[in-house]
Structure 1
Amino acid sequence: MASYLILTAPGALSRSEISDRYRNETRFIRDGFSWTAFLFPTLWMLFHRLWLHAVAAFLLQGIGLELMRQPGFFAAGAALLLGVHVLAALEGRHAISDRLISRGWKVENLVSAHDLATAEEIHFSEFEQKPNPDIHPKNWDISATNTNTSRPGPSFGLPGYDGGR
């Protein structure tokens, strides 16, 4: 099961006003391994507008390829190339979320789901439910239900707030 980080754009409508605009301004970023980032790290970073990350990956891949050409440094170059690919695959989506958050996007939620459609359904279903105002704790009359005269207040047979029994 994957985790999806849910971000909303700056200036998006409030959570209580679910509309098509809110749905369009909400971005779901899957936390996990990315095969496209593993196979093509520099191109993947350029596609997602991670310019400095792409330049760094390009330079490190060039250094790794040059090390592989030198006698005795093949293993070091291959390890550097593999490291760049694995790092891009594991942390690339985190870099995307960091870039969006630095631009003013707000973290709304974190949802665990098997796929994107399920994550969207879980996230948007939370807002479509209207709370019942009659069950607010301020409307509870605790003194009417408490029959314990030795200790007034909500005890329910548990230790009190002062640590007593």
Structure 2
Amino acid sequence: MSCYLVFARPGAPVPDEGSVIVADRFAPWAFAFPMLWLLFNRLWIEAAIAFALSLASTMMITNPALFWPGLALGVALSAVTAMEGRNWRAAALVRRGWQMIDLIEADDADAAFEIHALRASGGKTVVPGDRPTPPRNFPQPGRADESDAGTIGLVPVQRS
């Protein structure tokens, strides 16, 4: 299961068929083709930076003394784009005025939209601008108590 972020267009009714659903996970196509993936997702500034780094990596690879650092730069560019590219896309949507209206854990994007539509249309109304409530066991910043074991990332931590 993956987490999906649901974004609504400015002023659009919720649920809306035009909502954008962004998966919060590794993007394999971004690893294989970082610049093309960035351009396809309309991340122009990030694509320009990736182009410059890719050009630098290519120039380094042609020099035998800098082959391995150039290769490492190219692989690092692909890895960072694959791991953070979807977060960059979500940030770009927010900059364009879209609002995150739901956070859903589902098997695929279609199931995530169905869950979102069910939540939005059933008893609970979701309005753009409302922040989704985190799960009950999600740690709240500044609200730690003695019974909360806590986590580091996704790893639970026992405190003694």
1:44 to 37, 55, 61: 37
> How many angstroms does 1:78 deviate by?
0.6
Q: In the aligned structure 1, how far is the partner of 2:23 from the partner of 2:114? A: 15
> How many angstroms does 1:128 deviate by?
2.4
Moved over 6 A (4+): none
1:73 to 53, 66, 74: 66
1:27-106 alignment, distance < 5 Å: 27-106=20-99
- What's the Cα RMSD here? 1.3
> How many angstroms does 1:86 deviate by?
0.6
> How many angstroms does 1:122 deviate by?
1.2
Q: In the aligned structure 2, how far is the partner of 1:80 from the partner of 1:45? A: 17
Q: Unpaired segments of 5 or more residues in structure 2?
A: 125-160
- 1:22-63 Cα deviation digits (max 9, x unpaired): 422311101111111111111111111111111111110111
Q: Unpaired segments of 5 or more residues in structure 1?
A: 16-21, 132-165
Q: In the aligned structure 2, how far is the partner of 1:115 from the partner of 1:51? A: 27
Give the total of aligned pairs: 124
Taking structure 2 as the reference length, the TM-score comes to 0.73
